[in-house]
Amino acid sequence: MVMKHDPASKRSTGPSAKFSEPVADYLEYLQRERGRSENTLRAYDVDLRNLGQFLNEHAGDPALKQISVQMLRDWLAYLHESAVSRTTLARRISAVKNFFAWALKNHLVENDPALRLAAPKKERRLPHILQPSQIDRLLSEHAGPTEENEAARQKGDGIDQDPKARAIQCRDRVIAELLYASGLRISELVALDLSDIDFERRTLRVLGKGNKERMVPFGKPAERVIIEWIRSYRRVVAAEQAGDALLVGVRGSRLNVRQAREVIASALRSLGDTSASGPHALRHTVATHLLDGGADLRAVQEFLGHASLATTQLYTHVSVDRLRQSYRQAHPRA
């Protein structure tokens, strides 16, 4: 739950209650009515606090209705002078524009001062992807050491003798297989329950961004490792507090995002020949491999749970194999 800022606890260098209280109401609206994730709420909070602090220090701490477009432009100039990246600048402008649109709708302001703010074009960096041979190695080799499997390993003479360490190793294979098989976000993966798996159809029921539900298929290799985990290993580490969670941490409760991210980061480091560094690399990779294989762009959009087709189209820029194949087939002098 998003907590409102306590006016008594504000510092003179931070946003005052004039600004922080409506921001807290806005964040609560985003959480309760729009279903925004904790990461999204945290980003909005940081960006709006930045504006509130600037207004407090440089604009005489105006009331919300007194904030003008010139004040916002002065804030943007201050950000430019602070060498803020274009990506951060665009995100902060978006947060402020959305906030004031909400404030206008709720009659907290008479005019929207952010309406005429223009965000810079975001830098579109091509995502790092893995080649099929690297994926084969990633999914066939044991992931590198993590805090969890090292702790479990130290309790026995070796991984072959330690049931908990073997269980964690199997769970880590489930994480890697499912991320590549289904293209899930890491938060979607750790939120999966046993009841979300349909083995007959080999599909997952996934709750994505904005509480939108979608069905995502997975293949036989992922099916085999999931069944092995559920039948033979999950009960070794799962405690009562795990509930129906598919993935369980070494302490017996549902695996969290940080732990799952470290599993994949460790596995990618162990490859030694890729700059891909986190679980989102597998999401980029499966999208690119699907497009390379001839999958329809809109089908990939639905598979990944993208709200906009433009997000999915990013992967067409990294689908080099598909481009080369089309070039060879269509160009008269290929």
Catalytic site includes residue 306: yes
- The C-alpha angle with vertex 112 and arms to 110 and 118, in degrees rounded to 5, equals 170
Candidate list 91, 92, 185, 234, residue with the active-site label: 185
**Distance set, CA 86 to CA 74, 80, 119, 281 (Å):** 17, 9, 9, 22
Candidate list 5, 166, 171, 306, residue with the active-site label: 306
SS3 133: helix
Catalytic site includes residue 185: yes
Where is 209: in which H helix or E strand? none
Task: Please state, in angstroms and rounded to a whole number, the distance separating the CA atoms of residues 136 and 173.
Answer: 12
Candidate list 128, 205, 209, 269, residue with the active-site label: 209
Task: Please state, in angstroms and rounded to a whole number, the distance separating the CA atoms of residues 25 and 95.
Answer: 14
Catalytic site includes residue 116: no
Catalytic site includes residue 32: no
Q: Which of 79, 80, 99, 94 is nearest to 19 (CA)?
A: 99
Candidate list 283, 284, 289, 322, residue with the active-site label: 283
SS3 331: coil
E strand residue ranges, 182-264: 197-198, 203-207, 213-217
Catalytic site includes residue 327: no
Catalytic site includes residue 283: yes
What are the residue numbers of the active site?
185, 209, 280, 283, 306, 315
